[in-house]
Amino acid sequence: MADHGALRPWRLVELRGEARQRLGDSLVAASAARGITNSHLATKPSRAELLLAIVSVTKPSLKVPAWEQDATAAGVAHVLSLLLDEAGWGVMWRSGPFVDASEVRELHGLRENERLLGWLYVGGVPDGTRDGPKLPVDPGAFLTAL
């Protein structure tokens, strides 16, 4: 795991069963607090059996700034999604405008030095629905040389 200073600046929160409903409720409350009415948000977290909240935990460090610690936590989510996919699970990383909302932060018990990077939605893959090959990436558009 790429982790400058071996700070382990992440933690995961699993949400199963009725905890997903509580997340839906907090999303509705967060949207209402911003003047948006969206009752669909209540059931969205129940689309997968398991949600894994990815939390970046900023540790005190003179040499590793917060953005590097966020990058490490994002790396954990990325690696985990690849491993789950490899093991046959369907995985989707979802974020959205409410990851920083106080209602959502409170539900996850986030402290001041913690930031929610979204949730990995994990579930089964119905027959015939697994993605096919991705569109090829042109490496020339992403690589230059000095």
Ligand X SMILES: Cc1cc2nc3c(=O)[nH]c(=O)nc-3n(C[C@H](O)[C@H](O)[C@H](O)COP(=O)(O)O)c2cc1C
Which residues of the chain form contacts with ligand X (CB under 6 A)? 92-96, 118, 134
CB of 87 to ligand X, least distance (A): 17
Pick 83 or 92: Cβ nearer ligand X: 92
Nearer to ligand X, 7 or 74 (CB): 74
Which is closer to ligand X, CB of 6 or CB of 20? 20
| Closest CB 125 distance from ligand X, rounded Å | 14
Q: Alpha-carbon distance 112 to 102, whole Å? A: 11
Q: In the chain, what's the furthest Cα-to-Cα distance? A: 54
Name the pairing type of β-strands 114-123 and 90-94. Answer: antiparallel
* Tokens 């607090």 sit on residue: 33
In angstroms, give the least distance from the CB of 119 to ligand X: 9
Q: Smallest distance from the beta carbon of 60 to ligand X, in angstroms?
A: 25
Q: How many helices (H) and strands (E) does the chain have?
A: 3, 4
Choose among 88, 138, 93: nearest CA to 120: 93
Residue placing its CB nearer to ligand X in the complex, 6 or 120? 120
